Amino acid sequence: MTKDTSSGRANMRWTVSCPSTFSAELRMGYGVSAVASPIVDVSDARRVIASVLSRYPEARGHGFAWRLGSPPSERHGGHVDAGPAERAILDEIVQRELVDVAVVVVRFFDDDLAGGLAAIYGAAAAGALDRATVVEWVADSEPRDGENGT
Three-state DSSP class for residue 137: coil
**Furthest C-alpha separation in the chain:** 49
Three-state DSSP class for residue 52: helix
The CATH superfamily of 14-134 is Impact, N-terminal domain (3.30.230.30)
pLDDT in tens, the chain (150 residues): 544 545 444 467 899 999 999 999 877 667 899 999 999 999 999 999 999 999 999 898 899 999 999 877 888 876 555 688 889 999 999 999 999 999 999 998 876 555 588 888 999 999 999 999 999 988 764 434 443 333
Cis peptide before 71 (omega within 30 of 0): yes
Q: How many CB atoms are closer than 10 A to CB 92?
A: 25
pTM of the complete model: 0.82
pLDDT of res. 74: 82
**Nearby residues of 52 by Cβ (< 8 Å), 6 or more positions away:** 35, 62, 104, 106
Domain ranges of the chain: 14-134
Q: Residue length, the chain?
A: 150
pLDDT of res. 37: 97
What residues does 31 pair with on adjacent strands?
25
